[in-house]
Amino acid sequence: MAMSLGFHIIFAEIGIALPLMMVIAELMWRRTGDATYLELAKRWARGTAVLFAVGAVSGTVLSFELGLLWPGFMRLAGPLIGIPFSLEGFAFFLEAIFLGIYLYGWERVGPRAHLAAGFIVVASGAASAVFVVLVNAWMNTPVGYRLAEGGTLIGIDPIRGMQSPAAFPQALHMLLASYAATGFAVAGMHAWVTLRGHPSALHRRALAIALAVGAPAAVLQPLSGDISARLVAETQPVKLASMEGQWETLRRAPLRIGGWPDAEREETRLALELPGALSLLAYHDLNAEVKGLKAVPRGDRPPVAVVHLAFQAMVGLGSFLAFVALWVGWTISKRRDLASNRPLLFALTLATPFGYLATEAGWVVTEVGRQPWVVQGVMRTSDALTPMPGLIVPLMLFAVLYLGLGAVVVSLIRSLVQETTVS
């Protein structure tokens, strides 16, 4: 399931952000008459279609895995999470229908109808992701039920369940991550082509649109992270302690940069500590008490090293993207040409995969940091998963499937890059 999610989430992010760039390019073409924008819109539409198809395959695999691998979880949570998953399916089909209209309607529908189809693709792609994130948010902060004896849920209110405390922070964080990751990935590819000596109008236009989507999201993402971190501190203090490698319950708890958590010795070694910074960031109070991992039994702690290192990677990669985004903004404010700034182009090229890597690390923090719970405080992961033996077989089969799909995507992107090189 983790392998499937790790593969699928990249295509989910692309499906959220690439249609927005596609529609912006069409808008610019209709406003300016510049055929370069039309070429970009059509290329990004083709890319969206192929990547959407790959994401549909991996998403279908996930839907089967959810039922086959997690029968205990579905038995418990099915009545609560059925509505958001159904709405996600509705958004998915809406996106597929209007993507088809967008792809084949250039000369078959009017300009307004065509743009409207593009905007519906943008909105439905974002909505699809939000509905899925609402399920995960409920798993982190479950509401909308009463827990009966024997561990069953009664008094179920699925609408209330979709409004869990983590719903808005997680949805916001996911959407911003998608725009930042995809915007910087596209900008990085065009920056690389420009560095190789192909600073054509197409690459300049593509660079501008991609950064218009990715740079603001990268700057806003740390603010979204602050909202999420404060919620985690309030509702999942053990996850927060794992993220920071915090073993002792302390006031003025330090923020750690780097370090290696040692679960046996219950200490975090080799970290740079900023006194009081964790209390200040998590609670906006320098004297706030932060709960340490020693306050809970060992069996209720997640794998601390995994969570801490993933969190450090997410913050480091996201901070680099935010820095480059501010660099882009400063360059534009000075009315300097982005395509002729070679250090900036190199930084953008370097940052090409960083958004997706940060997202993968963030989902490791979200999921592994909740362990040993599949639903926080309600059901343990050990009670949720299937007892079926021989799972190595579907694991290997899905791995082969993803390798094949990955090869298709790499081939597609390579052909698109080669095509733009000669444009």
Mind listing the pLDDT tens digit for each residue in 229-253?
999 999 999 999 999 999 999 999 9
**Side-chain half-sphere exposure of 166, counting CA atoms within 13 A:** 24
CA–CA separation, 99 and 352 (whole Å): 26
Q: Can you give the pLDDT at residue 154?
A: 85
| Inter-residue contact 214 to 16 (CB < 8 Å) | no
Counting every residue, how long is the chain? 423
Q: Can you give the pLDDT at residue 422?
A: 54
Q: Can you give the pLDDT at residue 200?
A: 81
How far apart are the two ends of the chain, measured CA to CA in Å? 41
What is the average pLDDT across 145-166? 89
pLDDT band at 198 (very low <50, low <70, confident <90, very high): low
pLDDT at 257 over 80: yes
CA–CA separation, 305 and 364 (whole Å): 12
Q: What is the pTM of this model?
A: 0.94
What is the average pLDDT across 122-145? 95
Instruction: Tell me, letter by letter, the H, E, C secondary structure of the chain.
Output: CHHHHHHHHHHHHHHHHHHHHHHHHHHHHHHHCCHHHHHHHHHHHHHHHHHHHHHHHHHHHHHHHHHHHCHHHHHHHHHHHHHHHHHHHHHHHHHHHHHHHHHHCCCCCCHHHHHHHHHHHHHHHHHHHHHHHHHHHHHHCCCCCEECCCCCEECCCHHHHCCCCCHHHHHHHHHHHHHHHHHHHHHHHHHHHHHCCCCCHHHHHHHHHHHHHHHHHHHHHHHHHHHHHHHHHHHCHHHHHHHHCCCCCEECCCEEEEEEEECCCCEEEEEEEECCHHHHHHHCCCCCEECCHHHCCHHHCCCHHHHHHHHHHHHHHHHHHHHHHHHHHHHHHCCCCHHHCHHHHHHHHHCCCHHHHHHHHHHHHHHHCCCCEEECCCEEHHHHCCCCCCCHHHHHHHHHHHHHHHHHHHHHHHHHHHHHHCC
What is the average pLDDT across 199-221? 93
Mind listing the pLDDT tens digit for each residue in 352-365?
999 999 999 999 99
Q: Can you give the pLDDT at residue 122?
A: 96
pLDDT band at 417 (very low <50, low <70, confident <90, very high): low
| Inter-residue contact 374 to 381 (CB < 8 Å) | yes
Q: What is the largest CA-CA distance in the chain?
A: 69
pLDDT at 89 over 80: yes
pLDDT band at 166 (very low <50, low <70, confident <90, very high): very high
| 35 C-beta neighbours (distance < 10 Å), count | 11
Q: Can you give the pLDDT at residue 196?
A: 84
Q: Can you give the pLDDT at residue 129?
A: 93
The percentage of the chain sitting over the pLDDT mark of 90, rounded to a whole number, equals: 74
What is the average pLDDT across 60-88? 90
Q: Can you give the pLDDT at residue 419?
A: 66
Mind listing the pLDDT tens digit for each residue in 378-415?
999 999 998 888 888 888 888 888 888 888 888 877 77
Give the chain's mean pLDDT. 92
